Amino acid sequence: MSDPKDILTRMYKTDNSELVLPKEETEQKDVEDILQSNIFNVMLNRRSQRRFEPKEVEEHKIELILAAADTAPTAGGFQGFEIFHIKNNEIKSELVKAANNQPYVNAPLVLVFCKNPSRVKLNFPEEILRKFSLQDATLAAAYAQLASHALGLSSIWIGMIDENMVMKILNTDLVPSSILCIGYPKKILQPKPKRSLKDLIHRI
């Protein structure tokens, strides 16, 4: 696999003036147009999927998913997380046990997101740095999940894990935050209705 950052250089133009800075809106966009834009389509239609086709995820899609995780915002830009791409089937089977025997952990593509607070070079207490790294790992996994859906894949986020068991399986001292299981869905699931925004948002 090539360096995921190579993917990023191909995703953006080389003229830095046209990279990150948002463009000024020349006209007010219609809400319907915004909802039909790619990112909103992805967010509105993403569903957790527990049944995958026995089909490998193409290498270029894996690279794009990892590149998407690399773009996630992190505390101080220090990226206090690491990703373990699990290709070994025996390790996948062990992770099933570490994830409360959830069988879908043995998916075509398995990514374990771990916290790495040592990367966060900020002058804060250790517990704050650990919190930052948890947030970093969580955001990276969320970006990877959205990218997966945009690429025609489905995923399931695994949060019920035995951290110590996962660390032993991966032979790492980094604490895992989640496991992201990705693959081609056996069935396209329709998005479930969410609660009303008036019940979600508290204006004070």
Q: What is the pLDDT of residues 9-51, one digit of tens each?
A: 655 445 544 433 344 444 455 555 544 447 777 777 777 777 8
Residues sharing a CB contact under 8 Å with residue 203, sequence separation 6 or more, in sequence order? none
Does the reported pTM lie above 0.85?
no
| Structure tokens, 25 | 């809106």
pLDDT over 90 percentage in the chain: 59
Write down the CATH number for the domain with range 49-190.
Answer: 3.40.109.10
